[in-house]
Amino acid sequence: MPGGVNSPVRAFGGVGGTPFFTQRAKGSRLWDVDGNEYIDYVCSWGPMILGHAHPKVVRAVQEAARDGTSFGTPNSREIRLAQLVCESFPSIQKVRFVNSGTEATMTAIRLARAFTKRDKIVKFEGCYHGHADSLLVKAGSGTATFDVPDSAGVPADFARNTLTLPLNDFSVLDRVSWKEIACAIIEPIPANMGLIPLKSGFLQKLRDLTQKNGVILIFDEVISGFRVARGGAQELYGIQSDLTTLGKIIGGGLPVGAFGGRADIMDMLAPNGPVYQAGTLSGNPVAMAASIATLEELFHAGTYKKLEQSSSALCDEMKKVVPGQHARVGSLFCTFFTDREVIDQAGAKRSETKRYAKFFHAMLERGVYLAPSQFEVGFMSMAHTEADIEQTLQAAREAVKAL
């Protein structure tokens, strides 16, 4: 395997050293093959909002697998999950399931181009929307970690049709020739260069400009969807997009992505329309069962309130313990090792990655697993307890003192 991994950030390239190999996981904890135990704040990069190996999810997967793992035909679980998604996101009138967030964003952009009959797209610096060619231009996530703003192998013609704007810059939005743009895609809660909340009014201005000029607005809620609220960032901020991409949490730990939105746009998909998209394992019964079990459990009264309380209990104290710039939106959190406010990718890049690497390893030695990169975020789960939080804070006190 190149780099010994199947996804780059797992290689610890952003912090140095050798990654551990996980043997099993339960609740808020991971155990590696050497028997070491860690409190996990990576949560499989976001999906494990209920915690690892949640009994209801495991049971749903087992029951579904007994009937067969893939049919290649429609199945009833697809309908149930579609209902849950559309009920949660009023902007999603129709939805299609795929196998990853990358597939979802790639097809959403294809749909927008077909619908508007325009080629150019707008994205924002540091926002990561998967590894499709058009979107690997000044992207975040692993490309930020490895300081690769543009991936090799992406034709120049793709890049020419991608206009990349700085985050939180109101004036630059007014300088775009919006009549030439097919779509604007953005993480409404940017969380792939660390966590950088958008300035008040920025998202609304983008919504107004796109609506006025017939541009499709795509919210990439692969991370924020079902994490910050049942209706994602759209519920949190009261702003709706034309198309939405989802992933991570809706898979319940299995590979699932989704995209959906206005019916007139979605009806351009085959077999109804001329935009082709397909997937052998899309909507497979096991993944759908895990998704349904996760969402139904997540939708119990008080879940998001408890997540908010746990997240604030951890992060409010971390601010007092760890020097730096702290950010949190719901159960997403991040600490930048810098003294300057971080409002965009350039600010994130100025943070002290070597300092973060030392802190990461000091925490790991004390049994706390944070993201192995300054440019990723932390995730809280329903499985994290008060004891976990106190152990984490004590580890942080010791780590800061040691450093």
Provide the annotated active-site residues: 128, 220, 248
Question: Alpha-carbon torsion 310, 316, 320, 326, what sign?
Answer: positive
Angle separating helix axes 55-66 and 285-298, nearest 10 degrees: 150
Beta bridge mates, 137? 150
Compute the distance between CA of residue 352 and CA of residue 337 in angstroms, rounded to an integer: 5
Task: Give the C-alpha separation, 82 to 242, whole Å.
Answer: 17
Q: 217: which DSSP letter?
A: E
Contact 210, 217 (CB under 8 A): yes
Give me 188's structure tokens: 């409404």
Q: Residue 375 and residue 356: Cα distance in Å, rounded?
A: 10
On whether the CB atoms of residues 237 and 269 are closer than 8 A, the answer is no
Q: What is the residue whose two structure tokens read 């797209």?
A: 121
**The token pair that represents 153 in the structure block:** 């192998």
Residue 353 near residue 12, CB atoms below 8 Å: no
Q: 10 Å Cβ neighbour count for 147?
A: 10
Output DSSP code: residue 180.
G
Tokens for 247, please give them.
Answer: 């992933």
Please say whether the beta carbons of 230 and 88 come within 8 A: yes
Peptide bond before residue 271 is cis, with ω within 30 degrees of 0? yes
Query: Cα separation of 83 and 38, whole Å?
Result: 37
